[in-house]
A and B are shown apart, each in its own frame.
Chain A
Amino acid sequence: MKSVAAAPEMTSAEPTPSWMTRSRTWVGAAAILLVLPHIPGLNADFGRSLLSQMGIAAVFALSFNLLLGQTGLLSFGHAVYFGLGGYATVHLMRAINHGLPVPVPLAPLAGAATGLLFGVLFGSVTTRRAGTIFALITLGIGELVYATTFMLPSYFGGEEGITASRTRGPALLGFDLGPQLQVYYVVALWAIIAAALMYAFTRTPVGRMCNAVRDNPERVEFVGYNTQRVRFVAFSAAGLFAGLAGGLHAINYEIVAADSVSALRSGTVLLMTYIGGVGRFIGPVIGAAVLTWLQASLSGYTSAWLFYLGLFFMAIIVFAPAGLAGLILMHRPIIRMPAFWRVLRAYAIAFAPALVMTIGAIVIIEMSYRLSTQPELGTRMRLFWTDIDAATPWPWLAAVVMIVSGFVVFRKTWPIVAQAWQQATTEASVAAGAR
């Protein structure tokens, strides 16, 4: 599994798709965004709010990947630009509430401008260095800005933050941002504009030189480019789009507080981007959607959800370093092959023991969590539609049996998957040779 997943890392020299394919992709994406809040399950306020959060996170993660995936810069303080953009937007919204004649849907532009401003300001310092030093400086600036939010309560509002209303202002084309659906559409519109602009950025001369700096900064200096300047341009652009995401956050929540510039948020965007996959443009979008969904749904089911998130992240790092996007896209060459159905069948076979193994692990984690963090709730609990008592040895024993037997059978299903893959890739290379 490991070797299969590592392969797409090498091919991250993404070929430029034709103009037709590209425009079809964007029109398709816009159409999906248009209908998403109307499909069953997502067509209530909770679903639409979740979709809005996903859109905001996607813009934020895409901006982060301009640094990490495109330029090879690992920042531990990217929330600074998100949060400062959010504060600027929420202050603009307050001014709008007091009569400034600007439609609220345009307010995120103030966030983008602020993100760019601080991207330029801090970027001129941080991008002098790369690698570990760069990472540490961004961490320092992140802490600095976080501390500042408590030192200047008149602007940052301290712990409580700054609130504003998104509905008290001039309506734009009938949009007064009352219903969550309208908020979603504003977020979706900005998100697709931002994504298209960021994609376009990767296709410009400086965007390509960002990739070159990521691959080999030394050689870049010998083809005429100042690597510091290239990193600076990437950093400023990333600041701009992070600020825009922060502005959308301000509209969606009508409050911006210190947590929006925190190291926790900087860490979350790193997780999103990495889980989605840094090597592909679409990766951060997938990561943002999945992680936002997990945060929203998992936290409703279990208090151990952060633990599961950590396990999930580790599994991605170890088994799919190219992220979920890499995992999905590595199937592209074989998707039209006859043996693709064998691959799917092999996955289904392997899935059953993996599920048994996972359930066993979940039972143990849940019982341990209950005993260690919530002893006041007692030892009786309901897991997977079954009443169990963590004080008796039986559920523990059953869980261990599930893990061990699941693992043994899972190992036996590997050759089936490998064989199916082998056949599909052979077919694919034959087909490629025939072309």
Chain B
Amino acid sequence: MNAMAKIPDIEAAPTALELCDLHKSFGPTPIIRGVSLGIARGERHAMIGPNGAGKSTLFNLISGRFAPTAGSIRLNGEQVSGFPPYQLNRRGLARSFQVTNIFPRLSVFENIRCSVLWSLGYRYSFWHRVDSLRDANAQAERTLEQIRMTARRDVPAGVLTYAEQRALEIGITIAGNANVILLDEPTAGMSRREAANAVELIRAVSQGRTLVIVEHDMGVVFDLADRISVLVYGEIIATDTPEKIRGNKAVQAAYLDSAHA
């Protein structure tokens, strides 16, 4: 069974992700205040902005964790706002979390394998033996190699080191061959060397897919991104290539200064 065949026809939609006048309020407090953004298929897009700008909330809206208060989200051309996370995942969107969010008592291998089962069409099957699923096991092993965790295959995920858990977090996200991948601060809390490894990994796994990444490390952002959006107080004040963002006066005033202050 080919995983890619499950994903809706993406040839027809040049835009992988399209946000249109998106709003989100928690009670009376507006957090996202009218975000519109189109991300092309295959683009690596970084989302930056000061703390509290709403980057994680925006991710939570796109991935279905929260429903937007107003506005629309299109995934590969399909209107998906208000869909639960599993519906979005089945349509080819996967995300990682800023705070590690894994299956602690399952082995590393089981963590990854659980993330490929739906994409391969096994659904709620109680008539397949999971150890006999060649495609699922092969895809899980491949993902383990990609995130360089093969040696830790049978270790319960809960006892991994922090950097290993971060790598597993990315592994769970990419294992199901989603074509739109959201990574929420994948290098947070890593040493410089670990972060460099993580960037290498992200570059490799996002090949041929659409990537949206929230990141605080400017080195990572400018290294990786095709385009950058700057989010300040729930609004995107600029979206452009890394060079132009670097020279953008409004961005410098609103974000880069305050970030270094």
Listed in ascending order, the chain A residues whose CB lies under 8 Å from chain B are: 10-13, 15-16, 200-201, 203-209, 211-212, 214-216, 218-226, 229-230, 233, 237
Contact = CB atoms under 8 A, between A and B. Distances in A.
A237 B125 CA distance: 13
Contacts of B158: 10
16 contacts: A13-B107, A15-B107, A203-B130, A208-B110, A208-B130, A209-B124, A214-B105, A216-B103, A219-B97, A219-B103, A221-B64, A222-B85, A223-B117, A224-B118, A224-B176, A225-B117
**Secondary structure of the A contact surface, majority rule:** helix
A51 B136 CA distance: 42
A221 B85 contact: yes
Contact of B110 (A11, A13, A222): A13
Nearest to A204: B126
A121 B84 CA distance: 24
B156 interface: yes
Most buried by B among A216, A222, A230: A222
Contacts of A203: 129-131
A206 B124 contact: yes
- Chain B contact-residue range equals 35 or more
B7 to A, nearest CB: 12
Interface string B138-167: 000000000000000010111100000000
Contacts, number: 117
B154 to A, nearest CB: 6
A21 to B, nearest CB: 13
Contacts of B113: 208
B76 interface: no
Contact of A12 (B105, B129, B154): B105
A207 B105 contact: no
**Secondary structure of the B contact surface, majority rule:** loop
Nearest to A227: B86
Given A204-B127, A221-B85, A222-B95, A212 B106 contact: yes
B101 A219 contact: yes
B11 to A, nearest CB: 22
A318 to B, nearest CB: 21
B159 A10 contact: yes
A211 B105 contact: yes
Contacts of A204: 125-130
B129 A200 contact: yes
B128 A215 contact: no
B210 interface: no
A407 to B, nearest CB: 35
A223 B159 contact: no
Given A201-B126, A212-B110, A224-B176, 19 more contacts: A10-B156, A12-B156, A203-B129, A203-B131, A204-B125, A204-B130, A205-B125, A206-B125, A208-B110, A208-B117, A209-B124, A215-B104, A220-B114, A221-B64, A221-B85, A223-B172, A223-B176, A225-B86, A226-B86
Contacts of A216: 101-104
A11 B159 CA distance: 9
B63 to A, nearest CB: 7
B114 A212 contact: yes
B144 to A, nearest CB: 15
A102 to B, nearest CB: 27
A115 to B, nearest CB: 16
A11 B131 contact: no
Most buried by A among B64, B110, B114, B172: B114
Interface string B84-105: 1110011000110100011111
A224 B90 contact: yes
B122 A215 contact: no
